[in-house]
Structure 1
Amino acid sequence: MALKQTFSGGLFGHASALVLGAVLAVSGTAAADSVSRAFSIPAGSLSTALNRLAESGGLQLVYDTAITEGLQSKGLSGHYTPEAALQRLLADSGLSYRMAENGNIVIERQSLNYKQDPTALPAVNVVGKKVYDPNDPFSQFYAVPNASTATKTDIAIMDTPVSIQVVPKSIMNDQQAIRIEDALTQNVSGVQRAYGTADMYESFIIRGFASDDQMYRNGFRRSMGKFDPANIEQLEVLKGPASVLYGRLQPGGMVNYVTKKALDVPYYSLQQQFGSFSEFRTTVDATGPLDKDKTLLYRFNAAYDEGNSFRDFVDHERVFIAPKLTWRPNDRFEANVEIEKRHENYTEDYGVPVSGNRPITNRRSLFTGDPAIKPSQDTTLIYADWSFKFNDDWGLRHKFQWDETDIVFGGVAPNSKINADGHTLDRFGILGTSNRRSYSTSLDLTGKFQTFGLKHNVLVGGDWFFFNQDAPDNNFSYGTIPTFDINNPQYGNFDMAALRAEPANWFWRSRDDWYGVYFQDQITLWDKLHIMGGGRYDMAGYGGYGGTSWDETKAGFSMQHEDKFSPRVGIVYQPWDWLSVYGNYVESFGTNNGRSATGGNFAPQAAEQYEIGFKTEFFDKRLSSTVAYYHLTKNNLMTFDLSTPDPTDQKTIGEARSQGIEVDIKGQITDEFSLVTTYAYTDARYTKDYSGLQGNRLLNVPEHQASLWGTYQFTEHFKAGLGGVVVGKREGDNTNTYQLPGYTRLDAMMAYVQPIGKTRLTAQVNVYNLLDKEYYTGSTSWLPTANVGAPISAMGSLKLEY
């Protein structure tokens, strides 16, 4: 920030030099500015506080320095309009303010009325930089400097020897991404959607490997499900194995979403979105203090979402609420309690069937299920944490989460590819229930200290995770559901009562129960070299069993236990502030492989990764980039054992490898131009297998994929954007018997902001798939079906903020 000051004796002489105006270079007169912005002004002299307000708020203040002499300010922290911030600083000071005709703000004693012409006074010009504030609800920043997922500590991304990509809500807002899937696959390199049981839960492929149902919320694993973005502040994707800090994980990486915080300044938002296919979505966001001392804060987010689809008979309805309370009695202690409730009814849709080595084309609305059977989900989450700072360097944090999901299954799915006649399809029905419940807790001690000139940033912690799944009454019916003719679709042509009367034939109980302790130290030398080392010791238990009845399943269920130590090392060298060169080596503790036929334990899956890359920050750290090369191997995959005469024997000698290059660039080129661009080259295939998979590419992983998105702020009120994604050909299954063709999709947006008193109204419209291309977003992992991308469509929005 460049500061230019001019003092003159003027009317009051040198002893009472009249000061002080400030003009933020990118703002007009802020007294007329009704837009809230972030302020952080420490307690101290009132004169200093007013200077900082003028500097950061874009105000031109004029006053006699004598009237502020000896006056103190309590400071200011939070989001205010500039005028509201000035009012708070002057409260109980005996001073008031008024607007001069030339737009200056004159500060004076309440009992006096200075008549001097403020236009004759010299001004102080301050040119300031915008600073990223993660809690600013009006933030337009695309680049985020910090993310806690990679290290569980507050370390800048530039100082972290791993690839961590962040999608803040500003990008999600510009793209109107109402699904996590859209926000990630368009804005993070090497990420694709993975499909399990239709659209029952959200799963992603990162660096070639599917994450299964392992989604994280504020560092804790969620039970299987879908998650509403109404309460999400930003999405963080940690590339590569992450089990060192989080326990058992698939090695490609993890998705962690960070929820919105309660703020100590009022903020209210009401948004109504409406789009193609009868999409109707209403969201509410309200936050602020509950007491005058701002020790008790709240936040309330809610969403109602309903709509149809371009797919025949496919619809959805979701209700979501998320209240939160924060207690902050002093600057050392903070406690938070959150609740989330979600209810969802939807149609189970597996996409279009496969014929030969391709999904069928020109039939993207064809629904092969039946609208008479629909599933539902009910989810309840309770989260609590507290943190205490012993001093500026040491702190303790404890977190707890309880998460439960009840699922009612209901759907009809293709059982195979299209038959030899070219138009009929065998199907099966799914009915039943499942309960998934998890408990998580962690305790972390963080600290900073120096030894022999070395700066240490340490983490020592432990966690416990428990997960239980019961599926006591599921039925996979292959006889009741009739054959489907894609040329003459018939629905409701089976006996629903007979289907429900069929006895259950699939039962399952599983449990994860593990403890972990971990440590990490990031050592800094000469402020340029950062060396990170750490490890985790897991004591993990797992059990999974399915019998011929629920009673047999419960009786046959048992747990097996495994221990493992996983190390991680990394190094960052920063020859200049704008460049970081890094590398890492990490091992991972993965999925359990169960028991052998003789009752012994198969070795659990494991992984190791080597990675090198560099990161940059340009344009006052508003534009960031990461370029990475990685080599990732997943070991101990199950495959046939050729050393025995029994062809069904298996052993854990299988291996899959993913290697590639990833590029992520996001941020602001100028104050007006924001940009996101990504590219990933991914070579992911089986490298050792005796089941016929060796040499095959992993399913749903394109060799090349890229994206580009940019917005330009043409005026203070009007913004427009354009972008697209390019995805290469993908294999539809692990046996590589069919392929999904590559595609290109273009999107666009326009937004207009109009202040209305103390509120602001944003009208926005987004258009997706501008060229109306037919494409496939991914294949189902265990069925020969392909999920279809939407045709040209639009989303409109009206958002009122105060």
Structure 2
Amino acid sequence: MRARRHKNIMARGERANPPHIAQGLRKRNIAIAALVLFGGAAHAQSTDSTSDPATSGEGRAPQTAQPSNSSGTNQQLNPVLVTGEREKETATSPVEGYVARRSGTGTKTDTPIIETPQSISVITADQMQAQAAQTVGEALRYTPGVIGEQFGGLDSTVDYYTVRGFQQTMPFVDGLSTQTFFTVLSPTYDTYGLERVDILRGPASVLYGQTVPGGMVNLVTKRPTADPLHEASIEVGSRGLIGGRVDLSGPVNKDGTLLYRFTADSSSESTQTAFVQDKHIYVAPALTWKPNADTTFTLLSHFSYRDTGRQNVDLPSVGTLYASPFGRIGTGTFLGEPEFNEYRRTDEAIGYELEHRFSDILTVRQNLRYSHTHLNQKIVGDAGLEDDQQTLDRYAYAARASSNVFTVDNQAQLRFGTGPLEHTVLVGLDYTRSVDSWDERDAFEVPSINAYAPVYSGASSIVLPDAPDFSVHDTLNQLGLYAQDQIRFGKFVATFGVRQDWTSTKQYDNVAGMNSQSNDANRFTYRAGLVYLFDSGFAPYVNYATSFQPGLGNTFDGSSLKPTTGQSVEAGVKFQPKNQKSFAMLSVYNIKQKNVVEPDFDHPEGNFVVQTGGIRVRGVELSGVADLGSGLSLTAAYTYMDGKVTDSDQGYAGNRAANVPHNMASLWLDKTLQTGPLKGLGFGGGIRYIGSQYGDQANTLKLSSTTLVDAAIHYDIAHWRFQLNAQNLFDRIYVNCQSDTYCSYGLRRSVIGRATYQW
């Protein structure tokens, strides 16, 4: 037995930039689906109207569910409507198929994507359902410039992803920040509760404050629909997966001024790692009140609970990435303690979106959300191999953590003309306050274990102190004032924006009884972009933008962190042919970032960070998405990136930037038969390629390229859809590493079967 040599800080989560209720969850998963499947609701007739093409200007039509897909594109069975025609698409409404035409993420106004001078992708609910995406990371798999599962997707408690080479774990949700201090407290959203996922590439600080320069991910949650929507599913899969889900929506009263939506998802399954079960519940009620044509108030809320264990995301590089005299550590090997490891988390959030139109010129909005997270976590992790290359030293701790995030965004939008110029002016003031607490008790001594033939010592072998030896209280405040003008002059559309941020971060050390960190920073950011709209559907654009992040974390020598800043130049061309459901885009860009923060693996005893200096990433992206009719849909993407450490305090200047492969490519196709005796039968398939990359800035951990294949088969009949998806079809084994003691296997083959009923 040896005392731990060091603790890998990623277990707690690097600084980011209730009672047990899960017993018997498997039975409740079936009950949730059965409740609605056999509720005896009456069938309704569907409409078959088609939407008008998106036009310039802000869409103000109310949201509604979509009718059955007459073109037969590959997608989830569409909700059945009782009355009315499908309204025009908006930035938050359901999208039929894969091709979205509008987004509010790039401008905070409901704007056609082709008119936004920046690269934007939208992953619709239909695409997520067709690909059986269970996490946000899985939903991002076929997106240009994005690694959706940066470390292989094995850790389902946090979505690690990169956008244009810059890591993120904290998406925006409905345009509002989810910023916390600790990565492990980052939000993880159930994809079934999402209407769409918007990816804005390039700096977004001019509208959202602190963001990385690579871009941002905005999760748009489901909202109440004006037409009745009823759906229930039951699913089973490999590793004992069983789950149920429901999605109900429609008017509450006869005049349709009050609408509701109720979405729920529950599942239980074993995992790729031995002794680790994953159980979760997600519930999201929403309510919309429209007292008149000019006022809309939408209440959004959700509750989630997850009970799981710690999967092996901190394996040694020897035996996984590199061969050892003893072979390879098994992909399902568990190197913790089955009776000790624990992860129980609850998330609650409630907020609203209020919009009122005073006139054709002035519209005001207020979007607000409060969220609370509570986490109980016990971990036994990798502290490094001993000299015999098979005995693994381990560390252990028990932690209680919480996060409280309040954020509000106030907006005033004005639409007016000045001579030949048409203006859409947006002025806003937003505020975010994040308060985190972390109490940790570190084990005095932890028995070592044989990584190739583990024999567990039991929870009683891990002795914890009675009181926390690490306890901090962190506070972040951000206040931002911004203004934007979208100017239309003939076929030109120009977008200009400016923002001033005031931020403060503070950490109080409860053990020492004193402030251990205090940083204040003010930053001015801006953006300018121009698009020209050809009649043919081509739209060349150019954009320049800056970004800003306050310094978060502690350095080993106690020095304050500098603000992290970024700038980006981007040019490209978008193509949206008229009267077709397709969209293509070519982008080239150059991004520079200064004062980059990363975990300090040289001092793993503390949760320290270092600033490597500067990183430059430049690249090319080519993508297309289409619903081609005759039951054929596709999405395709190619990305070239060149990432480089331009300045480093650790001697890494000139190295390739970590987690930036030179090449990535993906293709997904789905075909549904439209005629004949097999009408309704469909097949889908996809291929994903990620080129070789380095897992660290020192360029000592080279990760091999990976090619993965996905497949699907589905059959639609009457109100039913039966669907079978296989991910990583050929069971490719691959490894991702962040350090010599923090490697993990990627997700192996999984199969999910689902039956969905709509009425």
TM-score computed with the length of structure 1 as normaliser: 0.78
* Cα offsets for 1:490-523 (capped at 9, x unmatched): 22x0443742346432222221101101011111
User: Which residue in 1 is equivalent to 2:659?
Assistant: 700
CA drift at 1:279 = 1.1
Corresponding residue number in structure 1 for 2:3: none
Asked if residue 469 in structure 1 is aligned to residue 431 in structure 2, the reply is no
2:371 alignment partner AA = D
Alignment of 1:702-741 (within 5 A): 702-715=661-674, 716-741=679-704
From 589, 608, 616, the equivalent of 2:575 is 616
Partners of 1:733 and 1:197 in 2: CA distance? 19
The whole-number CA distance in structure 2 between the counterparts of 1:707 and 1:476 is: 43
Does residue 187 of structure 1 match 2:143? yes
Q: Does 1:228 align with 2:190?
A: yes
CA distance in 1, matches of 2:176, 2:704: 36
Does residue 481 of structure 1 match 2:460?
no
Residue 524 in structure 1 maps to residue 492 in structure 2: no
1:283 equivalent in structure 2: 245
Q: 1-side partners of 2:132 and 2:119: how far apart?
A: 26
Aligned length: 670
Are positions 1:414 and 2:378 aligned together? no
Q: Does 1:629 align with 2:594?
A: no
Question: What letter corresponds to residue 485 of structure 1 in structure 2?
Answer: N
Q: Deviations over 1:394-419 (max 9, x none)?
A: 31100110011011111221123x44
Counterparts of 1:303-382 in structure 2, within 5 Å, are: 303-351=265-313, 352-355=315-318, 358-359=321-322, 361=328, 363-372=330-339, 373-382=341-350
Establish whether residue 795 from structure 1 lines up as the match of residue 757 from structure 2. no
Identity of aligned residues (%): 25
SS at match of 1:683: strand
Relative distance call for 1:593 and 1:434 in structure 2 (3 A) is closer
- Alpha-carbon shift at residue 421 of structure 1 (Å): 2.1
| Equivalent residue for 1:209, pick from 136, 161, 166 | 166
Question: For each residue in 1:458-509, what CA deviation from the matched residue of structure 2 results, as whole angstroms up to 9, or x when unmatched?
Answer: 11111000001111x30333x5322221221122x04437423464322222
Distance across 1 between alignment mates of 2:451 and 2:461: 25
Tell me the SS of whatever aligns to 1:500.
coil
Residue 590 in structure 1 maps to residue 540 in structure 2: no
Amino acid at match of 1:150: G
Q: Identify the match of residue 644 of structure 2 among 657, 669, 685.
A: 685
SS in 1 for 2:371: strand
Q: 2:364 aligns with which of 396, 421, 430?
A: 396
DSSP 3-state at the match of 1:230: helix
Which whole-Å CA distance do the structure 1 matches of 2:683 and 2:368 have between them? 42
Cα pair 2:265 2:283 within 8 Å, conserved: yes
Q: Which residue number in structure 2 is paired with residue 155 of structure 1? A: 111
Task: Please give the alpha-carbon distance, in whole angstroms, between the structure 1 residues aligned to 2:416 and 2:131.
Answer: 43
Over 3 Å counting, the alpha-carbon distance change for 1:208 and 1:57 in structure 2 is closer
Establish whether residue 544 from structure 1 lines up as the match of residue 512 from structure 2: no
* Structure 1 residues 576-600: Cα deviation after superposition (integer angstroms, max 9, x where no partner): 3411111111111113167899998
Alignment pair present for 1:744 and 2:707 = yes
Which deviates the most, 357-366 or 630-639?
Answer: 357-366
Secondary structure of the residue aligned to 1:712 is strand
Q: Equivalences for 1:526-675 in 2 at 5 Å?
A: 526=490, 528-545=491-508, 547=509, 550-553=510-513, 555-557=514-516, 559-592=518-551, 602-618=561-577, 620-637=579-596, 654-675=613-634
In structure 1, runs of 5+ residues without a counterpart are 1-31, 42-55, 60-78, 90-128, 640-649
Over 3 Å counting, the alpha-carbon distance change for 1:496 and 1:657 in structure 2 is farther
Describe the shift of the 1:536–1:354 C-alpha distance in structure 2 as closer, same or farther (beyond 3 A). same
Match of 2:124 in 1: 168
The Cα shift of 1:81 comes to: 6.0
Q: Which moved more, 1:788-797 or 1:655-664?
A: 788-797
Deviations 1:513-566 (A, max 9, x none): 01101011111111x111111110001111135x4xx2425x325643221110
Q: 1:150 to 1:422 in 2, by over 3 A?
A: same
2-side partners of 1:785 and 1:653: how far apart? 20
Q: Do 2:727 and 2:749's aligned partners in 1 also have CA atoms closer than 8 Å?
A: yes
AA paired with 1:508? Answer: V
Distance verdict in 2 for CA 1:331–1:783, change over 3 Å: farther
After TM superposition, the structure 1 stretch with the greater mean CA deviation from structure 2, 782-791 or 424-433, is: 782-791
Name the aligned partner's letter for residue 500 of structure 1. Answer: L
User: CA distance change for structure 1 residues 663 and 515 in 2, over 3 Å: closer, same or farther?
Assistant: same
**What one-letter code is carried by the residue in structure 2 that aligns with 1:787?**
S
Alignment of 1:452 with 2:419, yes or no, is: yes
Q: Is the 8 A contact 1:401 1:440 kept in 2?
A: yes
The CA distance in 2 between the partners of 1:287 and 1:296, in whole Å, is 11
Q: For the structure 1 residues 452 and 600, does the alpha-carbon distance in structure 2 shift closer, same or farther, using more than 3 Å as the test?
A: farther
Find out whether 1:515 has 2:472 as its counterpart.
no
User: How far 1:157 moved relative to its partner?
Assistant: 0.6
Show the counterpart of 1:29.
none
C-alpha spacing 1:763/1:599, structure 2 compared with 1 (3 Å) = closer
Report SS of the residue matched to 1:618.
coil
For residues 619 and 307 of structure 1, what CA distance do their matches in structure 2 show? 46
Cα distance change, pair 704–524 in 1 and its aligned pair in 2 (3 A): same
SS of the aligned residue for 1:353 comes to coil
Q: For residues 447 and 473 of structure 2, what CA distance do their matches in structure 1 show?
A: 30
User: Counterpart of 1:306 in structure 2: which amino acid?
Assistant: S
Q: Is the 8 A contact 1:773 1:791 kept in 2?
A: yes
CA contact (8 A) 1:386 1:399 kept: yes
| Unaligned runs of at least 5 residues, structure 2 | 1-42, 53-66, 71-77, 181-185, 599-608
Match of 1:64 in 2: none
The structure with the largest alpha-carbon Rg is 1
Q: Tell whether the 8 Å contact from 1:192 to 1:700 is kept in structure 2 after alignment.
A: no
Q: Is the 8 A contact 1:203 1:215 kept in 2?
A: no
1:740-787 superposed Cα distances (whole Å, 9 cap, x missing partner): 2111111111111111xxxx01111012222221123x33x4663333
Q: Which amino acid aligns with 1:488?
A: A
Alignment-derived partner of residue 9 in structure 1: none
Question: Which digits, 9 at most, give the CA deviation of each residue in 1:48-84, with x for residues without a partner?
Answer: xxxxxxxx9999xxxxxxxxxxxxxxxxxxx9968x5
Within 1, Cα distance between the matches of 2:714 and 2:255? 37
Bigger RCO (CA 8 Å, 6+ sep): 2
